[in-house]
Structure 1
Amino acid sequence: MKKYTIKDIAELAGVSKGTVDRVIHNRGKVSQKALDKVTKLLEEIDYQPNPIARSLKNNKIYKIYVVLPNPDEDSFWKPCVDGVNQAIEEFKSFLVDIKLFYYSPHSTKSFQNVNNTVINLSPDAVLFPPIFYKESISIANRYKSAGIIVSIFNNQINLKEAVNFVGQDLYQSGRVAARLMEMIVPKKTDIVICHLDEPFNNATHMQKKEKGFRDYFENLGHFEYNLLTFNADKESLHKSLNDFLNIQKNVSGIFVTTSKVFNVVEVLQERKHKNLKIIGYDLLNKNVSLLKSNAISFLIHQRSKSQTYLGLTYLVEHFLFNKDIPNQKLLPIDIVNSENLDSYIEN
């Protein structure tokens, strides 16, 4: 199909290029006769205006800011930065300004302060992971009141103010982890659900994973496993985990609900607890090394790079090309073990 320029259309309709431009973009005065001629011709040739050229005519720079936990404090977020940088590179020729802002993943105060800074800069949209439940709801309300579009990723919470969520179904990922655990541990043993480094009551991502994990076993109809919950921070993990396992001597597997699974394995390898089956999240370098040696049985890959890249792409295309933003984009729940690891590392 031939692509018609405004010059082509003007010549075919016998009018000026300015008249065609005014008809296409619905601006300025045009005589009824000229309007009818151009409109009829556009219908005949099925003309589709170039969305890129149209967006550039607005001459507006759209500001889209990403608020992330500092990857230097938690390496899970490094691929998220890569996703942001990929979007920046892809859309660098367009009128969009994408910026990154970091806060401490261990401090709600830092999260609040950084978001206060972002609000004062008046972006058109903001993308962030709501890892702190109460604080995320509060800040999302403030963004919406300021006319700023909110998009979230990684942790799906009930945010009426958010236009979009990108990430996994965390409840379902907990169920997947439970199914895997059932396959590799003996019946009539204890399975530990391990939460690390975050206040459980304010971390809905861990709550959803635990609920999915527990519901799977409870729905079996023949409950042949005893599920235990263990909470710790990094500083106390060594002593508290060993004390816990010294009391709970029937443990056969541990499900770690975050990417900190390597911390758990490192403690286990120092002691006699080396034969436990371990399932956790994410392809961090330390996790990958332990997966290769089979110290970790399975990792659930959350595609953190894709989460930020897709979240930003939806926002950019909404502003530039007037595309609708999907309410949610659920990513696959990838199960990775030592046998299929290389295909994920290569990609």
Structure 2
Amino acid sequence: MTEKVRIKDIAEKSGVSVGTVDRVLHNRPNVSKKAREKVEKVLKEINYQPNMYASALAYNKSYQFYCIIPQHDSEAYWEEIEDGTAKACETRRDFHISTEIMYYQRYDIKSFVQTTKECLEKKPNGVIVVPADIKVTKHFCETMHERKIPFILLDSYIPDVNPLTFFGQDSFSSGKFAAKMLMLLAANDKEIMLFKRMKNGKVASRQQENRELGFRHYMNEHFPNVRIAELDVPVEGSPESNEKKLEQFFSAHPGIRNCITLGSKAHIVGEFLLKTNRRSVQIMGYDMVEKNAQCLRKGSISFLIAQHAYMQGYHCVDSLFKAIVLHKKVDPTNYMPIELLSKENVDFYRRTQL
């Protein structure tokens, strides 16, 4: 009903001119306190809700967002993020929104610092960033706060930097969920394998660190006697060196039947199991990337946990749009669903569903 109220109607009810109502609605100067109070009283009485979409279109301003993510391989989780941001820009194309992807080397602090510096030099209207090292990420976020640049954290959450919002899974809960699902298969096992890809003694991300905390919390509480045998492989390792390490591991642990990785590279183990015909062994992992899906269909991966990367990319851009263009409030934390995929339902999974 309120959308049909004309400025002329508000002016008549307030006893002021149309121009005065227009200035109040757009928070412009040159309005007396008395006139403003009259108009605001009428607006409250009729529960006036401005058409923010129409106002934004009329303003005809362009908005440039930047999405800072790690450099990645093809068919990776990050490609879905990129596709999601592109779709959001296409959906809001009438509002002249564009998003540029900027990359940093995941394990290189200097690369992150340089990329964020270049981003700031472009004077963005809004930023989406995947955190790297906590210290340098916090410094970047503090700078954006100083410059009044709204920003969103993606994938990994750092609450004390006060982002506009966050999109990603609750990593700790996700790790607990992964352990629970794995142990449905391995309830009688004495030993399981935890596959980790490492760089300078660290896993790929803060998110994976938190998943492992959740995973071990569940295991300590419910399966304290099950031994977790770790296999750490370097991220820069060649396929040949990975296969050699896997062969050595399974030769040393012949009783292992169930494995898990808390990242998106379950296919490294899955492909090895298929190649060496170890049909009695399976691995569980994350992310519906094609190489993982192939192993899932062939039976070397038992389950995949999906986290809707496409939706994350889409909603990050859409949240910047709502906050910056429409001046709407957005939820400060947005945890993505934790979904389990098996070979029976993987072909029905819609990663682009919104």
The answer to whether TM tops 0.5 is: yes
Q: Quick one: which of 236, 245, 249 aligns to 1:244?
A: 249
C-alpha spacing 1:322/1:184, structure 2 compared with 1 (3 Å): same
Counterpart residue type for residue 47 of structure 1: Y
- The alignment of Structure 1 onto Structure 2 pairs a total of residues equal to 346
How many angstroms does 1:207 deviate by? 1.6
C-alpha spacing 1:265/1:32, structure 2 compared with 1 (3 Å): closer
Equivalent residue, structure 2, for 1:84? 85
Question: 8 Å contact 1:82–1:305 — kept in the other structure?
Answer: yes
C-alpha spacing 1:274/1:197, structure 2 compared with 1 (3 Å): farther
Equivalent residue, structure 1, for 2:302? 297
Question: 8 Å contact 2:61–2:96 — kept in the other structure?
Answer: yes
Residue 281 (1) aligns with residue 313 (2) = no
C-alpha spacing 1:24/1:147, structure 2 compared with 1 (3 Å): closer
Question: 8 Å contact 1:143–1:149 — kept in the other structure?
Answer: yes
Question: 8 Å contact 2:89–2:99 — kept in the other structure?
Answer: yes
Structure 2: gaps (5+ residues): none
Equivalent residue, structure 2, for 1:206? 208
Question: 8 Å contact 1:141–1:161 — kept in the other structure?
Answer: no
Distance in 2 of aligned mates of 1:302 and 1:200: 26
C-alpha spacing 1:48/1:162, structure 2 compared with 1 (3 Å): closer
Equivalent residue, structure 2, for 1:112? 113
- More off after superposition, 107-116 vs 271-280: 107-116
How many angstroms does 1:21 deviate by? 0.6
Distance in 2 of aligned mates of 1:315 and 1:200: 36
Question: 8 Å contact 1:6–1:20 — kept in the other structure?
Answer: yes
How many angstroms does 1:40 deviate by? 5.0
Distance in 2 of aligned mates of 1:213 and 1:146: 39
Deviations 1:69-112 (A, max 9, x none): 23445622111011101111122212544222123445444333
How many angstroms does 1:41 deviate by? 4.2
Q: SS in structure 2 opposite 1:275?
A: coil
Distance in 2 of aligned mates of 1:274 and 1:107: 38
Equivalent residue, structure 2, for 1:318? 323
How many angstroms does 1:188 deviate by? 4.1
Question: Any residues of structure 2 matched to 1:1-347 within 5 Å, and which?
Answer: 1=1, 3-10=4-11, 16-30=17-31, 38-39=39-40, 41-56=42-57, 60-72=61-73, 75-105=76-106, 107-185=108-186, 187-196=188-197, 198-201=199-202, 203-220=205-222, 223-233=224-234, 234-235=237-238, 236-345=241-350, 347=353
C-alpha spacing 1:54/1:200, structure 2 compared with 1 (3 Å): farther
The alignment's TM-score, normalised by the length of structure 1, stands at 0.88
How many angstroms does 1:157 deviate by? 3.4
- More off after superposition, 17-26 vs 198-207: 198-207
* Identity in percent: 30
Distance in 2 of aligned mates of 1:57 and 1:30: 23
- More off after superposition, 285-294 vs 145-154: 145-154
Counterpart residue type for residue 279 of structure 1: M
Q: RMSD in angstroms over aligned alpha carbons?
A: 2.7
Structure 1: gaps (5+ residues): none
Counterpart residue type for residue 217 of structure 2: D
C-alpha spacing 1:240/1:40, structure 2 compared with 1 (3 Å): closer
How many angstroms does 1:42 deviate by? 3.4
Counterpart residue type for residue 274 of structure 1: R
Q: SS in structure 1 opposite 2:161?
A: coil
